[in-house]
A and B are shown apart, each in its own frame.
Chain A
Amino acid sequence: MSITIENLNKHFGAYKALDNINLEINSGELIALLGPSGRGKTSLLRIIGGLDVANSGKLLFQGEDVEQRDARERNVGFVFQHYALFRHMTVFENVAFGLRVKPKKQRPNEAEIKRRVHELLNLVQLDWLADRYPAQLSGGQRQRIALARALAVEPNILLLDEPFGALDAQVRKELRRWLRRLHDELHITSIFVTHDQEEALEVADRVVVMNKGRIEQVGTPDEVYANPATPFVYQFIGNVNLFHSREHAMWTKQHGDAVAYVRPHDIDISATPQDDTALPVEVKLVRAIGSVVRVEVAADGSGEFIEIELSRERFDATPLSGGDKVFIRPRQFRVFETGVKSELPAA
């Protein structure tokens, strides 16, 4: 089911949680709402799910206005950050709940409910836990049960509010791959909220980057990473070095005030100047982190650090150590003029 959002606004008093949001979500897509905490992502999700009401704007499901429809009439599945499983029910009853409370005409009979619940529990690979209570499960298991519960009513849209936020890194990684596979199987239009850029880039078909209640950029993970539309997106997705036009005019090639953004892995290091724009620097720190080696250098004379990432192979070919004098040059960068007030946190 496709979702169209037009000029949506939501404010709490003077605080604008959502500022004129326009978004088109195609049927069967897996969308990530990405942004720092408290910047309107969850509000948007709750409005789509019918748990909150927007102050103005339109929300269409498959071209139909659903503003007047209650949460239960929208047929959405919602997965909450803290699972929100019913504590006094077994896992089986939790998943079956959505079916049992349906009006009598639509309610499947007991055998059918049993079949459906076990099917869903098998889907989330936790059928063996059917008789346990939520308190007896681990966080990852609870979240999968919550997902099964959300899927039980056969929703047209699946909404996930920071579904992996409360889990540890290992489980999170495993679960998001599993979520991706599950989505490929079921093809339900899904929206999930996250503040973890890695998660968004890995799982989603498209990423919606949000900041201060506004959409900064919408695009495939590759687009948002390789071609950020605004300085905010550049800084939020991936690490970045900033070079100011006043000091590094040879790169920015701008007369006015501008800042060049360079990814740590887009910088070349060499013992001899590559060309006349190369910047002489001194290596301050070398740290191997798994498959990459992070090198911190400082331009001569200034204490500003520049972060560079090299693959281990590259590093092994030309090893560096603290105190080495080398030259750096960006392979690729993006210039943003600073005349427009940027919304970056002070670097």
Chain B
Amino acid sequence: MTTQQIAQLLIEGNPASPTPAFSVRCTGPWTVQGIGPLEQQLETQIWPAATDLIIDASDISALDTTGAWLLHRTVRALEQLGKNIRIDGLRPEFSILLNLIATRTAHAKYLPPPKAGVLDRIGRRAWNRMGYLFNMLAFAGEAAVVLLRSLMRPHRLRWRPILHNLQTSGVEAMPITGLLSFLMGVVIAYQGADQLQRFGANIFIVDLVGLAMLRELSPLLTAIIIAGRSGSAYAAQIGTMKITEEIDALRTVGVGPHELLVLPKMLALIIALPLLTVFADVAGIFGGMVMASSRLDVSFDVFLNRLGDAVSLSSFLVGIVKAPVFAAIIALTGCYQGFQVSDSTDSVGRQTTVSVVQSIFVVILADALFSIVFNWLNL
């Protein structure tokens, strides 16, 4: 046993002695050549249970950083098991190397990953958004296909969930939509009153309130209210169903989640939102009327007479036409975000928030596009 050709670690001991003393003997060249088998052995090594271990390293014939690292790692692992380790007989030049390894490894641990540069982050964001956009488009496409298929065979439509959704996101939203539109009409008339009075053009309050409400404000206001009210509810409902595996259950029973969950919501909202917009128109004009009669001496009769001349049918329709589009945006965004919920419950909250922010954003964007298009068409 003078010159060992391979690196070895042997556990020797005398279990019969009254105070069990084990020693671990390391022999051979602990260098990068041939240390592989030793490393594998150490991974499954069963160590003696004694708390004090002596590592006899006097027979190590050569040591490089690989060997020193392995030795250091083994000692560290044993120390973490609560053992006291002493290394005996290591040649002085080897212990210098071992110490060097020990000091270096302590610093090298748990460095945070390098921060990404600005360009890197912008690129990643953009790439992620692209993927997101495609997913959203795919979702909208799937919904459109399901919608077309059911429109071709209307007898297969599920009327009960549609009616249920009409009730919850249409009828039940009337009080808040009406109240807010009324207040909006009041505010516009109030703001306009001062200016108009200065020029003695009191009667033009009708044009102001009528056009502002019918063309822009009531479709937009209604859509925003519904996005906050129903869009979030869609996301939360579908998200919860996803977590409780109800969506999977639907699929195995034989119902596509699009058919049962997305389509009724979308159809109901497409029907409900234009109606709600008309209701909001009425409430807003009424608010303007109240303000006009109290501040500008424009009586209800005069107001209503003037309204027919001031607001053309096309202005009214311009407002109403937008509503179904907003409805589709809100329903699709809400449902899509619901399906994005992953396994954790906190993601329901997150996706619900995202759905509201996104649908309001897209609704306003679509409104701007509508304005441009109507401008082209001279409507």
Distance, CA A81 to CA B44, complexed state (A): 36
Name which residue of chain B comes closest to A98, CB basis: B253
Q: Which residues of A contact B252 (CB under 8 A)?
A: 49-51, 71-72, 76-78, 150
Distance, CA A285 to CA B20, complexed state (A): 21
Q: Which residues of A contact B245 (CB under 8 A)?
A: 80-82, 84
Distance, CA A153 to CA B255, complexed state (A): 12
B249 within 8 A of A: yes
B196 within 8 A of A: no
Q: A77-B252, A78-B249, A82-B244 are in contact. List 19 more A-B contacts (CB 8 A).
A: A49-B252, A50-B252, A71-B254, A72-B255, A72-B256, A84-B244, A84-B245, A86-B249, A101-B260, A149-B249, A150-B252, A153-B253, A246-B46, A300-B15, A301-B16, A302-B48, A302-B49, A303-B49, A341-B44
Given the contacts A302-B20, A302-B49, A71 and B244 also touching, CB distance less than 8 Å: no
Would A341 and B49 count as touching, CB distance under 8 A?
Answer: no
CB within 8 A of B249: which of A84, A301, A341? A84
Would B16 and A97 count as touching, CB distance under 8 A?
Answer: no
18 cross-chain CB contacts under 8 A: A46-B248, A70-B251, A71-B251, A71-B254, A72-B256, A77-B252, A80-B245, A80-B249, A82-B245, A84-B248, A85-B249, A86-B246, A102-B254, A150-B252, A247-B46, A301-B16, A304-B46, A338-B44
List residues of chain A with CB under 8 Å of any chain B CB: 46, 49-51, 70-72, 76-78, 80-87, 97-98, 101-102, 149-150, 153, 242, 244, 246-247, 257, 259, 299-304, 338, 341-342, 346-347
Given the contacts A80-B249, A82-B244, A302-B20, A153 and B11 also touching, CB distance less than 8 Å: no
B103 within 8 A of A: no
B107 → chain A closest CB, angstroms: 27
Distance, CA A86 to CA B255, complexed state (A): 13
Distance, CA A86 to CA B253, complexed state (A): 12
Distance, CA A303 to CA B20, complexed state (A): 10
A192 → chain B closest CB, angstroms: 15
Interface of A is mostly: loop
Could you say which of A71, A259, A341 has the most chain B C-beta atoms within 10 Å of its C-beta? Answer: A71
Distance, CA A300 to CA B16, complexed state (A): 8
B135 within 8 A of A: no
A92 → chain B closest CB, angstroms: 15
Distance, CA A342 to CA B45, complexed state (A): 12
Q: Which residues of B contact A49 (CB under 8 A)?
A: 252
CB within 8 A of A72: which of B48, B244, B246, B253? B253
A304 → chain B closest CB, angstroms: 6
Distance, CA A49 to CA B249, complexed state (A): 11
Closest 5 CB pairs between A and B? Answer: A303-B49, A301-B15, A72-B254, A84-B245, A78-B252
CB within 8 A of A149: which of B48, B251, B253, B256? B253
CB within 8 A of B246: which of A84, A153, A246, A347? A84
B294 within 8 A of A: no
Name which residue of chain A comes closest to B243, CB basis: A82
B162 → chain A closest CB, angstroms: 15
CB within 8 A of A302: which of B15, B253, B254? B15
Distance, CA A46 to CA B247, complexed state (A): 13
B41 within 8 A of A: yes
B352 → chain A closest CB, angstroms: 18
Distance, CA A302 to CA B20, complexed state (A): 8
Q: Which residues of B contact A46 (CB under 8 A)?
A: 248
> Which B residues from 18 to 37 make CB contacts under 8 A with A?
20
Would B15 and A101 count as touching, CB distance under 8 A?
Answer: no
Would A303 and B50 count as touching, CB distance under 8 A?
Answer: yes
B375 within 8 A of A: no
Name which residue of chain A comes closest to B37, CB basis: A339
Given the contacts A338-B44, A341-B40, A153 and B20 also touching, CB distance less than 8 Å: no
Distance, CA A83 to CA B245, complexed state (A): 8
Q: Which residues of B contact A338 (CB under 8 A)?
A: 44
Would B251 and A72 count as touching, CB distance under 8 A?
Answer: yes
Distance, CA A153 to CA B41, complexed state (A): 55
B46 → chain A closest CB, angstroms: 5
Would B244 and A101 count as touching, CB distance under 8 A?
Answer: no
> Which B residues from 248 to 304 make CB contacts under 8 A with A?
248-249, 251-256, 260
